């Protein structure tokens, strides 16, 4: 939700590129994670959806870096979002590498 709020301030010319992309990928992290949870009785599907979630998290990090490089977000906001995304990536990575703990 923070990314959604922050992206409201992006320039209008970014509406169909950066704004839509960062919103879509950040939401997809959560959606894929939810799907993974529901598939936890099927280890291969569980890990597959977690992998999708991790990929979307990485994509979100990249879009946030673009936003920072374009000066749409300040350094403090960028560092905060980058840190939070890294933590999410570590948690998802642990689940991917240790699925038996979550099944």
- Over the stretch 21-67, which tens digit does the pLDDT of each residue have? 999 999 999 999 999 999 999 999 999 999 999 999 999 999 999 99
Average pLDDT (86-95) is: 98
CATH code assigned to 16-101: 1.20.1440.60
- Which two three-digit tokens encode residue 98? 């240790």
Torsion of CA 85, 89, 90, 93, to 10 degrees: 170
Domain positions in the chain: 16-101
Q: Which residue from 23, 48, 27 is spatially nearest to 36, judged by alpha carbons?
A: 48
pTM of the model: 0.93
Please tell me the predicted confidence (pLDDT) of residue 64. 98
- b/e per residue 16-51 (b: at least 16 CB within 10 A): eebbebbbebbebbeebbebbeebbeeeeebbbbbe
């Amino acid at each position: 939700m923070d990314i959604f709020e922050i992206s409201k301030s992006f320039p209008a010319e970014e509406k169909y590129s950066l704004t839509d992309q960062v919103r879509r990928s950040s939401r997809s992290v959560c959606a894929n994670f939810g799907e993974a949870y529901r598939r936890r009785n099927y280890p291969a599907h569980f890990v597959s959806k977690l992998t999708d979630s991790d990929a979307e998290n990485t994509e979100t990090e990249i879009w946030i870096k673009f936003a920072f490089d374009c000066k749409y977000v300040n350094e403090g906001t960028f560092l905060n979002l980058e840190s939070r995304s890294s933590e999410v990536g570590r948690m998802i990575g642990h689940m991917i590498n240790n699925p038996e703990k979550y099944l």
